[in-house]
Structure 1
Amino acid sequence: MRNILTLNSGSSSLKFALYPLTGAESLDTLTPRYRGMFSGLNGGTPRLKLQNSEGRPVAMEKDELPTRLELPDAMGRLLSWLDELPDLSLAAVGHRVVHGGRDYHQPVALTPEITAELGELESLAPLHQPFCLAPVTPLAERHPDLPQVACFDTAFHANQPEVARQFALPRELTQRGLIRYGFHGLSYDYINRVLPQQLGDARRERVIVAHLGNGASLCAIRNGTSVASTMGFTAIEGMPMGTRCGSLDPGLVLHLIQQEGMSAEALTEMLYKRSGLLGVSGISGDMRELLESAAPEAREAVELYAYRAICEIGSLTAALGGLDQLVFTAGIGEHAAPVREAICRGCEWLGLELDVDANDRDAERISAADSRVGAWVIPTDEERMIAWYTAQMVGLA
């Protein structure tokens, strides 16, 4: 049976899924045969989680993982396991690539030349781009005839109005590509496509989707098109995140360099890896741990997170000219009821009335029946989006 393999490679993890093809694929019918993730790569404690289509754990290999596992080794283990599966052939591989720059607004078949061009965007997403592209060359060496497709997190936002993408910087810098790109586009693309069936007859001309996970952003969608987003030139702008700071006064960054003597490397490490929920709480960047903690610092971190989300919703509502629906997705958005409640309480001025019981149950609709603005919890599925785009690109859908 022919299959599409999807890869979402990060600095410390490798997510993958295997989608069997029937020959008449649609976004609705694509169902993974396996889903898995290597975590703790490149210096952490390696772990492997692998499940079949029924959500049951599956063993990839008999031996325990070593105490240290690098990304190439994880890729090798994955490919060896795939080679041993009976009646399996790979038709194509789809990659999540965080940054497409100014030129790539649609999925693209990867060639050595295109892969090199995408690698030159590393400075725009230093903690993502090199890891997204890392599996491409080893795969090509092992399976030179296997089509590989890049699906971009920036693509969904490419048609935003210029006024929403432009910084107030000298024009020559804007012309060189120093603009707001936006991210989490594969997640927003998926939510946008399933909204009609999820919301039914509910009005959905003006929608805000809150992708709240370890990385967090929000997107304003008008009539199915992204018009504004909270992330900009890099994936650090906007909301505070697990370990990323979110938006800062540029003068603060200059102060850290000029007065505190921080180097670019030290500043990058602090803003990306020691800030956000972790930095404020001093406890953890994991929202689950903070919600379970009785420490006042944990409570402050959660309150700041919700406050900033409320402020971003207000800004995006202004860009939309009003709000019909608010959708929560990703790890925190789908599972952290206290965070959703705090955000919804802060949006009561918009006409959003929360159904507390529904929210506590992680129900699909969490707004009251007579709420002027609807609030929803809809699981995202970036891997399915990648598989669908990849099937289209290689003529299998």
Structure 2
Amino acid sequence: MLVFVLNAGSSSLKYQLINAQSGELKASGLVERIGIDGVLKHEIGENKKLTFELPIPTHKEAIELVLRILTNDETKVISSIKEIDAIGHRVVHGGEYFDKSVIVTDDVIKKIEDLIPLAPLHNPANILGMKICQEIMPTIPNVAVFDTAFHQTMPEENYLYAIPHEDYTQHHLRKYGFHGTSHYYVSNEAIKLLKKEKSRIIVCHLGNGSSVCAVKDGKSISTSMGLTPLEGLVMGTRCGDIDAGVIPYLMERKHMTPHQIIDYLNKKSGILGVSGISSDLREVIRASLENDQRAQVTIKMLCNRIKKYICSYAGLLEGVDAICFTAGIGENADLIRKQVCSGLEFMGILIDQEKNLLKSDKSREINAKNSKVKIYVIPTNEELVIAKDTYELTKG
């Protein structure tokens, strides 16, 4: 079964064409700067790469362009759109409505629209992608796969905030968590490596957006992101955990509106704000190696926050069998993995520095032989999760 996996952002569109049964990636790409000047980067399998720079005014035109490229004579990925069996959509926020993936219906779209206040930057674009696909490919089923669904197994004591309970019952104010497809995929891969279903796993999804998840016996019991993706770790431009009192203090001192303070904490803080260099950790690491003090402090803050969550979640899990590093930073930044694990020897966490320095695009074990806890680097594959869920819901 061929599944067209779509991740529609406010000005971007990521896509993959996957054989959901075999896992084979047929094609992938990214459309950026929709509505501005437009850039489409398209890959066929793992070999052929194409780049197009042309005006792409709308998401509809972006999707139509992608479909033309998939079916044209130059690529020959598929001969016709009719070869696509189903479409899987990434949806950022499913609230408490959705604890699993669902076939898209009018009612599903209405519920996702109801959740727009919880994800104002993401859910509208996700909905737009669905509606466009329904319009231009009306006979092909659509499936919504939610970032928040995996975390719906969290117990009440771990997802509630310590505020009056009516704010939860009336306004749905609680921790939801994100990166659920990644945490699900990586924790399941770790379970296979451990060869035990009864397991206590901590997944560190570290990228421009980052989160940590405690997974017990394959189920999320706590995660670092909250009502929105702003809570938790120090990220590329997000501040992560912060004293709530900082918000009115800054609003008064800097004469900010609510919209401006949220923009400030989401887009101007984190690695970018502390380092004053970039939101790209690679640039900050390079500066730190050249003895830039702010860059060095930024890296220490980043690693200490991750370490804090690892220790906290080890307590919630009553021990830990494996720590997993994934996503752009987790998979590629050996310095971050080293500093996060340094000082955790008292927990039986011992990293092998030679293994840690090795580069690979495959899952690998980087702990020392005498480590009581396994340390894995596991490349995430959120698109494959979306494709497989889509297949399971539409194969009959």
Q: TM-score, normalised by structure 1?
A: 0.91
User: 1:3 corresponds to which letter in structure 2?
Assistant: L
Q: Which runs of 5+ in 2 are unaligned?
A: none
User: 1:4 corresponds to which letter in structure 2?
Assistant: V
Give the conservation status (yes or no) of the 8 Å contact 1:37–1:49. yes
Indicate the residue corresponding to 2:277 in structure 1.
283
Indicate the residue corresponding to 2:42 in structure 1.
50
Aligned equivalents of 2:161, 2:239: Cα separation in 1: 20
Aligned equivalents of 1:393, 1:376: Cα separation in 2: 31
Aligned equivalents of 1:247, 1:133: Cα separation in 2: 29
Give the conservation status (yes or no) of the 8 Å contact 1:351–1:373. yes
The 5-angstrom pairing of residues 60-209 of structure 1 reads 64-66=52-54, 70-84=58-72, 85=76, 86-88=78-80, 89-176=83-170, 177-200=172-195, 205-209=199-203
1:368 match: secondary structure = coil
Indicate the residue corresponding to 1:257 in structure 2.
251
Aligned equivalents of 1:252, 1:170: Cα separation in 2: 21
Alpha-carbon deviation of 1:290?
1.4
Q: Render the CA deviation track for 1:271-315: whole Å, top value 9, x for unaligned.
A: 111111111111111112211223322222222111111111111
- Which one is further off, 123-132 or 239-248? 123-132
Indicate the residue corresponding to 1:376 in structure 2.
376
1:194 match: secondary structure = helix
User: 1:48 corresponds to which letter in structure 2?
Assistant: L
Change in 2 beyond 3 A, CA 1:52/1:83: closer
2:314 match: secondary structure = helix
- Which one is further off, 365-374 or 69-78? 69-78
Aligned length: 383
Q: Kindly, what percent of the aligned residue pairs are identical?
A: 35
Indicate the residue corresponding to 2:312 in structure 1.
315
Aligned equivalents of 1:223, 1:265: Cα separation in 2: 40
- Which of residues 329, 336, 341 is equivalent to 1:339? 336
1:354 match: secondary structure = coil
TM-align CA RMSD = 2.0
Indicate the residue corresponding to 2:26 in structure 1.
33
Alpha-carbon deviation of 1:79?
2.3
Aligned equivalents of 2:56, 2:63: Cα separation in 1: 14
Change in 2 beyond 3 A, CA 1:346/1:119: farther
Aligned equivalents of 1:281, 1:252: Cα separation in 2: 19
User: 2:43 corresponds to which letter in structure 1?
Assistant: Q
Aligned equivalents of 2:329, 2:214: Cα separation in 1: 19
User: 2:173 corresponds to which letter in structure 1?
Assistant: L
Alpha-carbon deviation of 1:38?
2.2
Indicate the residue corresponding to 1:59 in structure 2.
50
- Which one is further off, 95-104 or 250-259? 250-259
Q: Render the CA deviation track for 1:221-242: whole Å, top value 9, x for unaligned.
A: 1111111110111111000111
Aligned equivalents of 1:377, 1:229: Cα separation in 2: 19
Aligned equivalents of 2:89, 2:268: Cα separation in 1: 28
Aligned equivalents of 1:213, 1:382: Cα separation in 2: 14
1:58 match: secondary structure = strand
Change in 2 beyond 3 A, CA 1:274/1:71: farther
Q: TM-score, normalised by structure 2?
A: 0.91
User: 1:56 corresponds to which letter in structure 2?
Assistant: N
The 5-angstrom pairing of residues 7-22 of structure 1 reads 7-20=6-19
Aligned equivalents of 2:19, 2:349: Cα separation in 1: 41
1:59 match: secondary structure = strand
Give the conservation status (yes or no) of the 8 Å contact 1:212–1:333. yes
User: 1:9 corresponds to which letter in structure 2?
Assistant: A
Aligned equivalents of 1:243, 1:297: Cα separation in 2: 15
- Which one is further off, 3-12 or 69-78? 69-78
- Which one is further off, 333-342 or 76-85? 76-85
Q: Render the CA deviation track for 1:340-380: whole Å, top value 9, x for unaligned.
A: 11101142231111100100104611110110111110011
Aligned equivalents of 1:167, 1:36: Cα separation in 2: 39
Change in 2 beyond 3 A, CA 1:70/1:347: farther
Give the conservation status (yes or no) of the 8 Å contact 2:190–2:322. no
Give the conservation status (yes or no) of the 8 Å contact 2:212–2:309. yes
2:395 match: secondary structure = coil
Give the conservation status (yes or no) of the 8 Å contact 1:99–1:152. yes
1:272 match: secondary structure = helix
Aligned equivalents of 1:77, 1:106: Cα separation in 2: 31
Aligned equivalents of 1:369, 1:189: Cα separation in 2: 27
Aligned equivalents of 1:73, 1:290: Cα separation in 2: 37
Alpha-carbon deviation of 1:42?
5.1
Change in 2 beyond 3 A, CA 1:128/1:184: same
Give the conservation status (yes or no) of the 8 Å contact 2:39–2:53. yes
Give the conservation status (yes or no) of the 8 Å contact 1:337–1:362. no
Indicate the residue corresponding to 2:391 in structure 1.
391
User: 2:40 corresponds to which letter in structure 1?
Assistant: L
Change in 2 beyond 3 A, CA 1:319/1:69: farther
